[in-house]
Amino acid sequence: MLSGAIMGLVEGDRTTVDVGDGVRIAATVRGDGPPVLLLHGYPQTSSMWRLVAPLLAERFTVVASDLRGYGDSAKPAGERYDKRAMAADQLALMRALGYERFAVVGHDRGGRVGHRLALDAPEAVSALAVLDIVPTLHMFEHVDRAMATGYFHWFFLTQPGGLPETLISGAPRTWLESRFLGRSVRPGVFPPEVLDEYARCFDDATIAASCADYRAAAGLDFEHDRADRESGRAIAAPLLALWGASSYVGRNFDVAAVWRGFAAGVEGRPIDADHYLAEEAPAETAAALLDFLGREHAA
């Protein structure tokens, strides 16, 4: 369960759903209205939405889920962590909760799961918002010095033989804090109780699962994405791209233009933040999401 400090911020009904093959996915459900699935990034949990979820829940039913391998969800060893498998988890979760069609909002890794979910289950995804990412395929095909230094963990975490797992497990809090501290425009974005919650969930099983997640991105995900491009398969749902004006992604890509190569209808805008939009600029992030989701629901 979430710690008391974070539970008070995330208020809602905590549930765990068996989505098949013994994999259980944990989520918090709150609000009333059209359903919206929120997916977190690395190395976070669904608690990253603690400041945005209450604002969205004024108009929507919000399901904030922990991805396979993260948070309070199952962390099966040696199992698939490609985005197709992780997207299938989330589709099964939403169907178990009674939602056949829903919007998806994903940050970081969650955006990549959302991307795959929109491709694999277009009948289920009414709209997709991706926060501070460009597609995995585009990232790997445009590696340069800036990416190799700023996003070095993409390559470190894919190393075989248990190397990253061993090194990170030796100082997990140090590694965790390196992913957050210094990556914001404003001070105080990650108070101790938030870092404590992320650390609670960053156990050896999560470290192993998250490495498997990144290995899949460089392997099976890349193959799936390339096959989609070669077949001309694109996201059919309306897509909103939000990015941090000061983030690596915001500084190095024309984000909306990149996404237009992967989706039929794209709109986008920067947020005055670094990578963690929902935690650094929650009001601005929520306002952009409410405008987009409100228009798509009205349509």
**Does residue 297 carry a catalytic annotation?**
no
- Give the whole-angstrom CA distance, residue 239 versus residue 87: 17
| The two structure tokens encoding residue 24 | 């259980």
DSSP single-letter state for residue 235: B
* CA separation for the pair 271, 269 (Å, rounded): 7
DSSP alpha helix (H) spans, the chain: 4-10, 53-56, 83-96, 109-120, 136-141, 145-150, 153-156, 163-170, 172-180, 192-201, 204-218, 220-231, 248-252, 255-259, 277-280, 282-298
- Compute how many other C-beta atoms are within 10 angstroms of the C-beta atom of residue 32: 10
- Name the residue among 127, 104, 95, 106 with its Cα closest to residue 48: 106
Catalytic residue among 40, 107, 224, 275: 275
Q: How far is the CA of 221 from the CAs of 32, 87, 88, in angstroms?
A: 34, 12, 14
What is the rounded distance in angstroms from the CA atom of residue 285 to the CA atom of residue 296? 17
Active site residue 18: no
22, containing H or E segment: none
From 72, 108, 213, 221, the catalytic residue: 108
Q: Please, are residues 230 and 71 in contact by the beta-carbon 8 Å criterion?
A: no
Active site residues: 108, 275
